[in-house]
Structure 1
Amino acid sequence: MNILSLDASNQTLSFCLRSQGQILSLQHHPQAHIEHLPGLLQSCLDTQGIEARNLDVVAILSGPGSYTGLRGTMLVARSLLSLSGVPVMLRRSPEIMLYACREIASPVLVAQSVRQQQYYFAVGQYSPSHPSQTEGIHYLLAPQIGSHEDLLQALQSFACPVAGDWPENIKPNPRIISMRSFAEELANWAENDFNPTKAAVPLDNLIPFYIRPAVNPPVLASDAKAAQN
């Protein structure tokens, strides 16, 4: 099984090429322009002697993250699907962070800084056998936007390990798990749990997930709580 995974959600272009359970190439290109991605990928495939049409799946992070980076990786995925018929697996950052924490026998609070003093966060666990799971993810607190106060409140409520970003002015929880690139875990997930006949994303659904304050902004955690009271 030949797998290509892409992550350009932050300031680094990352991709992973796996085949038959082994990593053939794992590359990180800090500050690289997204326009360089097709050439970097083609060079990697040529070096490994793999043609694009022989890829079994391309796995990408759909967001949230850099507008330009997400748009660029989505265009690559759309091209591979439309021109070579390569199935596409999409995952959002909370999902891949929870998958990366799959060996932790408890829920995890995952957080990503999305704009100044705001975080996209959730509490959940990778649990493929759970009856309410979606793509193996069981949420105890659904993904939402909140402040660092909302993060602290969630941590106090669930008393669980933390993965991802954390406010610099707050003393970190000693159980924090740091992760900056999702390319390797995306490839792992695609190889171990992706079923292209059931979970492949249609071309029309290959859309980046952005967090835009001016266009249907997600509800802040604090506002959602106030609305319930």
Structure 2
Amino acid sequence: MKILAIETSCEHASVALLVDGDVMERRLEGHANHSEHLLPTVRSLLAYAGLELDSLDAIAFGAGPGAFTGLRLACGTVQGLAIGADLGVVPVSSLAALALQGEGDAVFVATDARMGEVYSAAYRVSGGVNGAEVTECRRPMCTPPAQLALPPDGSWFGIGSALRVYAADLPASLLARLSAQNAVAVPRAADVARLAASRYLAGEVVAPEAAVPLYVRDKVALTTAERLARGGRA
């Protein structure tokens, strides 16, 4: 199986290529340069592997939630590549991909959504790194950090930037049930590719024109009044 994956939901973007269980990954440094370097990185990775785009089985992308510009970039790029090569697309939640970097089978993901809010979700993780699967226990949502909550039972491994950015605002009840945490991990294209492989085999492939980002939150900016209320400047 051969799957190209793109993940640009945050400032740490990456491109990966999964070939028969082995994954190669390239990172794109610098949020402002993602659009400039994304396609050259894709071409470089394919050339390194000795593959043409139309020899792939599918193209996957981190569908979010995350930065709106990054999600549109990944989705638009994947749509263009897939249409040109007559391939299907596998959208993968960026939060689900991040869960693969957690420890144990119960992983709570919380990333900085900006504007004083957090994207979060909870997953059960199973399988090895090349056949990974995640089961959604709590759907992705966007809330203030003080409103974060875990599923009712057990302890959870916490992962994501929100655990660092909003450390002082997280509920004590949530922190008490985290077995450990990783506050520096970011979604990776390699993990998007691994999840996409399982979903491709399950037939979870869409036509390029049907691929859409997972926004969760439609509002992308605060009003002047809201910025002032939060202590910002007009």
Bin for the TM-score computed over the shorter chain: 0.7 to 0.9
TM-score relative to the length of structure 2:
0.75
Q: Give distance in 1, aligned partners of 2:157 and 2:123.
A: 11
Q: Contact (CA 8 Å) 1:99, 1:125: kept in 2 or not?
A: no
Structure 1 residues 19 and 169: CA distance shift in structure 2, 3 A: closer
Paired AA for residue 11 in structure 1: E
Q: Contact (CA 8 Å) 1:35, 1:72: kept in 2 or not?
A: no
Instruction: Return 5+ residue gaps in structure 2 as ranges.
Output: 128-132, 169-174, 222-234
Structure 1 residues 54 and 169: CA distance shift in structure 2, 3 A: closer
Instruction: Return 5+ residue gaps in structure 1 as ranges.
Output: 129-134, 216-229
Q: Contact (CA 8 Å) 1:108, 1:125: kept in 2 or not?
A: yes
What is the 5 A alignment of 1:158-169?
Answer: 159-165=155-161, 166-168=163-165
Tell me if 1:179 matches 2:185. yes
Q: Contact (CA 8 Å) 2:65, 2:93: kept in 1 or not?
A: yes
Residue 113 of structure 1 aligns to a residue in which SS?
A: strand
Choose 167-176 or 116-125, whichever is displaced more.
167-176
Q: Contact (CA 8 Å) 2:68, 2:220: kept in 1 or not?
A: no
Paired AA for residue 4 in structure 1: L
Task: State the match for 1:200 in structure 2.
Answer: 205
Amino-acid identity (%): 23
Q: Give distance in 1, aligned partners of 2:4 and 2:112.
A: 26
Tell me if 1:137 matches 2:138. no
Tell me if 1:75 matches 2:76. yes
TM-score relative to the length of structure 1:
0.76
CA RMSD of aligned residues (A): 2.8
Q: Give distance in 1, aligned partners of 2:151 and 2:159.
A: 11
Deviation at 1:100, TM superposition (A): 4.1
Task: State the match for 1:56 in structure 2.
Answer: 57
Q: Give distance in 1, aligned partners of 2:151 and 2:205.
A: 34
What is the 5 A alignment of 1:41-120?
Answer: 41-101=42-102, 104-105=104-105, 107-120=106-119
Residue 154 of structure 1 aligns to a residue in which SS?
A: coil
Q: Contact (CA 8 Å) 1:112, 1:121: kept in 2 or not?
A: yes
Paired AA for residue 39 in structure 2: P
Q: Give distance in 1, aligned partners of 2:185 and 2:118.
A: 15
Alignment counterpart, residue 146 of structure 2, candidates 135, 146, 149: 149
Deviation at 1:194, TM superposition (A): 2.6
Paired AA for residue 158 in structure 2: V
Task: State the match for 1:224 in structure 2.
Answer: none
Q: Contact (CA 8 Å) 2:155, 2:179: kept in 1 or not?
A: no
